């Protein structure tokens, strides 16, 4: 039997990327509800800010106008956005707060309204905020409260290597690091775990890839396929 490297989090979180995006239109309330029904143990989306300061969930952060013209969400008031784009308040009202929610903060200006919406819903402890710049993440630490902070990055961006980067994240009180599954090894995961940093693996689309990430010690993973998330977690519990 294959030996599984220990994770910091048991069981790991299977985040449904943009909801059940392999099964229906992504980033919609229907997609998030379907992901829960299919067995995902976490949900994921990208969060943006509107012109009037509302946190909304969308992937591209743009609205298509007149067939080809595209305008940033930041240039619209909430009331003027297409109806399929939910606000974070609407997400919590209709999908609930019981599952961990990972949000890629695509516009740094969305941080404050995101935290405020999570506070209103009583969901801060179940919120994971991902951002590409670890120094900006560190500046959010106090305001984020019990929410978890995740550095989404690449190995090539770790100028002094994974060990020094893990130490830096620990010093800055950042909770987790997120890399594409192809960049992870069991050794890299062990380095971050040694510094108390949880490790997330994204773009885990095939069941084999999900299981490989879990065997290396992943604390969470992201997939478009909510049914495969459920299958992988079921197998995880049986081992």
Q: What is the mean pLDDT of the chain?
A: 95
* DSSP per residue, 159-172: TTHHHHHHHHHHHT
For domain 14-238, say whether CATH 1.10.260.40 is its number.
no
Average confidence (pLDDT) over 111-124: 98
Spatial distance between the Cα atoms of 152 and 133, rounded to a whole number of angstroms: 8
Domain boundary assignment for the chain: 14-238
Spatial distance between the Cα atoms of 38 and 19, rounded to a whole number of angstroms: 10
Query: What confidence tens digit (pLDDT) does each residue in 15-48 have?
Result: 999 999 999 999 999 999 999 999 999 999 999 9
Q: What is the pTM of this model?
A: 0.95
Average confidence (pLDDT) over 216-229: 98
Q: Pull the structure tokens for residue 213.
A: 């990430």
Q: Pull the structure tokens for residue 103.
A: 């949000």
Cis peptide before 11 (omega within 30 of 0): yes
Query: For position 6, what pLDDT does the model report?
Result: 92
């Amino acid at each position: 039997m294959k030996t599984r490297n220990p994770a910091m989090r048991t069981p790991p979180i299977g985040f449904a990327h943009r909801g059940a995006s392999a099964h229906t239109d992504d980033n919609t309330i229907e997609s998030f509800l379907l992901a829960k029904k299919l067995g995902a143990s976490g949900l994921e989306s990208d969060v943006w800010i509107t012109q009037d300061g509302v946190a909304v969930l969308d992937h591209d952060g743009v609205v298509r106008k007149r067939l080809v013209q595209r305008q940033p969400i930041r240039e619209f008031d909430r009331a003027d956005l297409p109806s399929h784009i939910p606000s974070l308040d609407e997400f919590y009202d209709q999908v609930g707060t019981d599952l961990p929610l990972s949000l890629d903060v695509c516009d740094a200006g969305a941080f404050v309204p995101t935290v405020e919406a999570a506070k209103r819903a009583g969901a801060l402890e179940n919120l994971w905020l991902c951002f590409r710049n670890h120094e900006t993440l560190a500046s959010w630490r106090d305001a984020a409260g019990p929410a978890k902070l995740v550095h989404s990055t690449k190995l090539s961006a770790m100028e002094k290597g994974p060990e020094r980067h893990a130490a830096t994240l620990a010093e800055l009180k950042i909770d987790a690091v997120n890399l594409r599954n192809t960049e992870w090894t069991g050794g890299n995961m062990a380095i971050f775990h040694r510094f108390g940093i949880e490790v997330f693996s994204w773009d885990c689309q095939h069941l084999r890839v999900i299981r490989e990430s879990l065997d290396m010690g992943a604390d969470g993973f992201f997939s478009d396929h909510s049914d495969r998330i459920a299958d992988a977690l079921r197998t995880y519990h049986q081992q």
